[in-house]
Amino acid sequence: MRLAAILNAINQWALSVIQALGYPGLGLVMFLENVFPPIPSEVVLPLAGWLTLDATSGFSLLGVTVVGALGSLGGAFCFYGLGKWFAERRIRCLLRRFGRWFLLSERDLDIALTWFDRYGEYVVFFGRMVPVVRSLISIPAGLAGMHIGMFMLYTAGGTALWSLVLAFAGRLLGTRWQLVAEFVDRYEAAVFALTALIVTSFVISRWAGRRSQKRLGL
């Protein structure tokens, strides 16, 4: 089965779970979205936002925001624990062996590590709105031994904001809620380009710094 067909099947499954199970389904899908990035929150949350227009659906904007944040927080703890209890070398080994099944690679981990090194713990908050980073940023937080209370606070805040924005967009667009995913795709392309630039500049600056130290005999 081609990748596009697989991703489409995943999308359809996620949407059917939400429509069939309501809030428990939304929480489950948002949990899985954090540990299995091919499940797209930019499809799931706008649908939930659209459903808030239907009084019989049981969804509200506040409810979607809270459940989306709680589900994401649960998924984020999986990667936080991975960073907390495993060495970076072991994590890289796991990514090389199993990452392709999750559409994740060592390069994705390098991006998350670079963002954490550059911006510190605050990236756990705003990184939740950045593709790939929003899942893997929990690993460097665990590796760095970030206080679990602060991790919870930043993660819950960032995912709640992301959930609210996407759900509200889906509510505004109504039956055209799928347009949100198209917009986010363009936004993510720009973020990927910016991320590549940041990672490249960070690597070059470190390389230049090490060369300077060697010249000075430090």
More confident: 27 or 107: 27
pLDDT the model gives residue 3: 46
pLDDT the model gives residue 69: 92
Phi then psi for residue 168, to 5 deg, are -65, -40
Task: Tell me whether residue 15 is exposed, middle or buried, using C-beta atoms within 10 angstroms of its C-beta: 0 to 12, 13 to 18, 19 or more.
Answer: middle
More confident: 209 or 59: 59
* CA distances in angstroms from 73 to 83, 91, 117, 172, listed in the order given: 15, 20, 22, 26
3-state secondary structure of 66: helix
For residue 1, is pLDDT > 50? no
Q: Using one digit for the tens of pLDDT, what is the confidence trace for 9-63? A: 766 777 788 888 889 989 998 898 888 766 777 778 888 888 898 888 889 999 9
Phi then psi for residue 32, to 5 deg, are -65, -30
State CA 67 to chain mean position distance. Answer: 16
* Beta-carbon contacts of residue 166 (< 8 Å; ≥ 6 apart): 41, 42, 45, 46, 49, 180, 184
pLDDT the model gives residue 33: 82
pTM above 0.95, yes or no: no
3-state secondary structure of 183: helix
CB atoms near residue 46 (< 10 Å): 29
pLDDT the model gives residue 134: 77
Give the range among 1-5, 14-18, 71-75 with minimum mean pLDDT. Answer: 1-5
Whole-angstrom distance, CA of residue 109 vs CA of residue 102:
13
- The answer to whether the beta carbons of residues 180 and 41 sit under 8 Å apart is no
